[in-house]
Amino acid sequence: MLLDFLAKMQNAAQYGTHRAYHEIPFLWRYHAVHHSAKTMDWLAGSRQHMMELVLTRVLVLGALFVLGFSKQVMDAYIIIVGFQAVFNHANVHLPWGPLKYLLVTPDFHHWHHSSDEAAIDKNYAAHYAFLDYLFGTAVKGQTGFPENYGVQGDYMPEGFVKQQLFPFQKLEND
């Protein structure tokens, strides 16, 4: 019972962390690398800035450790999250029925990556879609996959090294 409660709290914390990556400009500069993919496929989940990757892993796994989860539970979590990251970025479109309001699916997560105005800063949840419905951040009325992906304004440079250096560069509107 306690572990179930703690797991739910961890998922809420992950939602909040992801939302912060979008809404705090300093953090967005790192997270924008993940959103720079102009097409979505199963590899898009692996496109990340190294600092974001380290920070997120430390926060999430550190929280699990502090809450007393065993190494086996953390290992299982890493496997599940890895699978879910690949799956939710993949081009898998299925009739999800009511599950689409509970769990994050590719249909749900693809809209998070859309550059369409209606989808900007929406669908933050990594595992449980109901968090976005609860906090009013779910994209509503969209079906299937969006047509447009990437960051609005298309300002992200091409190439791994340039994207890793991007957060440290001064932008015109800074």
pLDDT values of the chain reduced to their tens digit, one per residue, 174 residues: 555 665 666 677 788 889 999 999 999 999 999 999 999 999 998 899 999 999 888 888 888 888 888 889 889 888 988 899 999 999 998 999 999 999 999 999 999 999 999 999 999 998 899 999 999 999 988 778 999 999 988 789 999 999 999 999 876 665
What per-residue confidence (pLDDT) applies to 51? 95
Provide the domain limits for residue 118.
2-152+161-167
Number of structural domains the chain divides into: 1
Dist CA 139 CA 121 (whole Å): 9
Which residues, 6+ apart, have CB-to-CB distance to 87 below 8 Å? Answer: 42, 106
Look at residue 13 and tell me if it is in a domain: yes
Contact between residue 151 and residue 31 where contact means Cβ atoms under 8 Å apart: no
- 66 falls within a domain: yes
In a domain? residue 71: yes
174 domain-assigned: no
- 172: in domain: no
Q: What is the pTM of this model?
A: 0.86
* 81 domain residue, yes or no: yes
Q: Quick check: is 9 in a domain? A: yes
